[in-house]
Structure 1
Amino acid sequence: MRDHGTVIVKRKSRGKHDSHHGGAWKVAFADFALAMMALFMVLWILAVSSEQERELVSTSLRDYSVFEGSPSPYLLGGTPFPVDLQGMPIDQLPGQETPRHDTVALAGEELAITALSRGRFESEQDRQLLAMLIGQLAERRGMEGNLLLDIVPEGLRVQIHDHSQKPMFSRGSARLSADFEGLLKELAPIFDKVENRLIISGHTDSVRYVSQHYSNWDLSGARAQNVRQLLELSGMPAGRVLQVVAMSDQALLDKQQPTSGANRRVELLLLSRPAEQLLEQLFDAGLPNGVFNKAEQSARLSERPAPPEVAAQ
């Protein structure tokens, strides 16, 4: 029989220098990577959300319970946001004209200026939210009887008119009353957040001004300018106003009663983007590069066809 010899098995213990070949470091690195991912998620949510949205996110995460059958806040309902806010206010995506507010969900609630997201307000829902907020501001000041709000194709028209109980101006004067001044100071932060351009127009009733050197045109213009100045002093950016207009009594609100206090008013028109562009084009028409050039203007006039009576001669 063949002798295979003795088999010797030698066990060698690992020294301390081989401890780094273990797998414990992988667990620690995975925990670190998970913590960094959570940090970046928190930073992302803070960057893309407003204060109100963050409060909604915090509430939905805190109150969510799988046992109560409430919808999970972690499931995105087809939205590009970290947490689906179920139709509540969200920031508008760049280049999109989507509504940023659900006015049905907010109807009947006490609104605050913090409910507004900074940017342009172009949709029907956006204008409805602004109308609701402005109406509540006037109601809190007891001036709901002075206010008319209309959503028009050109934007949102805010008409603040005289009332027997709360006049806006001293009669025949451009000095603002204390109530009207207080309302304008509360409207200024709204016009700071809403980046749509604004037209301010002043209107009078049909009662003629006594002075021969000062008419309803001057009075309506002075009132509109005073409104603009107060809004700017109260926080509205100076570049937000596109035009200040004196209308005198040419656009009476109550045509049946030309002397009615409703005709003595100031209108604030928040322009939609098409209306704003149309107005800008109107004033830029005929001025090359926005600067008057006498030679170019003369050349353009000479190219126009002569009137028929001149051609006949």
Structure 2
Amino acid sequence: MRDHGTVIVKRKSRGKHEGHHGGAWKVAFADFALAMMALFMVLWILAVSSEQERELVSTSLRDYSVFEGSPSPYLLGGTPFPVDLLGSPVLQPSGTGSPLADSLAQAGRELSAAALPRGRFESEQERQLLAILIGQLAERRGMEDNLLLDIVPEGLRVQIHDHSQQPMFSRGSARLSAQFEALLKDLAPVFEKVENRLIISGHTDSVRYVSQHYSNWDLSGARAQNVRQLLELSGMPPGRVLQVVAMSDQALLDKQEPTSGANRRVELLLLSQQAEQLLEQLFDAGLPNGVFNKAEQSARLSEPPAPQEVAAQ
């Protein structure tokens, strides 16, 4: 029988990095990096966007369909946002507007009256930024449901109306509630820096006042005057108000419900320069001495009557 001898197997230790490694870890690491990037994108969007903008983003992503020919929400369209907010973001990047708008944009989304530059607000973008600031002040006071903001051709209209949970005045009274008074005190520094002139108008609902010697005209006028006085006592220059108007129930906000709390309101209209000039011209219009001049009429009455001519017979 043939002897094959003893077979000796020698194991050689390999270095730490000499073994064969698969590529599965690379795929896992790439997935982790992608997930972290997506997380940071979501956190960034939440940090730089308002609630309205986040809702627009959510709606755009949820309702987008390639089969219905919807515009892609991932096309920026010239906006500084990760999705196209209908092509008209509220805030534009600095360097693209007026100095006032750039200063406000650099102040960040949490605006304050202290960061507000002094001057006139004439462009639509400046009015939008000012509306954002006023909206934030109302939200901090818990009165966002009492506020309506409109950019109109005449300027920026701020409507503060009654709410079932948050009245502005005692019913049938011109006494301001504590919350409304606090909001006006927050708005006074804003109107101190904004050099546009103001029209303050008071409005009531259609419920008639019980007194025979005091009507909704008197009530709406008293409320508007109280708002003016409080704004001036809180720092707004007296010359900032151009007109105080009593409107009674002649301009209902909710015409379907004349007794609705939305009709009990005070409106602050920040006038554009053109609207301000038109209003001033309206009061300056007419003849230099008026149609009826007292001095001229008195002189005419003091003249002796002219002798009458007797016709020949």
TM-score by length of structure 2 reads 0.61
Pair 1:103–1:119, CA change in 2 (3 A):
closer
Report the identity percentage: 86
Alpha-carbon separation, structure 2, partners of 1:297 and 1:147: 52
* Corresponding residue for residue 89 of structure 2: none
CA apart distance, 1:100:
2.2
Unaligned runs of 5+ in 2: 1-92, 300-313
The 3-state SS of whatever aligns with 1:120 is coil
Q: 1:66-108: CA deviations, max 9, x gaps? A: xxxxxxxxxxxxxxxxxxxx72699xxxxxxx46214995697
* Corresponding residue for residue 87 of structure 1: 94
The 3-state SS of whatever aligns with 1:288 is coil
Alpha-carbon separation, structure 2, partners of 1:139 and 1:253: 22
CA apart distance, 1:115:
2.5
Alpha-carbon separation, structure 2, partners of 1:243 and 1:143: 25
* Corresponding residue for residue 146 of structure 1: 146
Regions of 4+ moved over 2 Å: 102-108, 287-290, 292-299
Do the aligned residues in 2 keep the contact of 1:89 with 1:100 (CA within 8 Å)? no
CA apart distance, 1:288:
2.3
* Corresponding residue for residue 185 of structure 1: 185
Q: 1:243-273: CA deviations, max 9, x gaps? A: 0000000000000000000000000000000
* Corresponding residue for residue 4 of structure 1: none
* Corresponding residue for residue 216 of structure 1: 216
Which stretch of structure 1 is more off in the superposition, 170-179 or 121-130? 121-130
- Alignment of 1:238 with 2:245, yes or no, is no
The 3-state SS of whatever aligns with 1:133 is helix
**Counterpart amino acid of 1:110?**
E
Alpha-carbon separation, structure 1, partners of 2:192 and 2:148: 21
CA apart distance, 1:113:
1.1
Alpha-carbon separation, structure 1, partners of 2:121 and 2:134: 14
Pairwise CA RMSD: 2.6
Do the aligned residues in 1 keep the contact of 2:149 with 2:157 (CA within 8 Å)? yes
Pair 1:101–1:209, CA change in 2 (3 A):
same
| Number of aligned positions between the proteins | 206
Do the aligned residues in 2 keep the contact of 1:103 with 1:129 (CA within 8 Å)? no
Alpha-carbon separation, structure 2, partners of 1:252 and 1:127: 25
Alpha-carbon separation, structure 1, partners of 2:199 and 2:104: 28
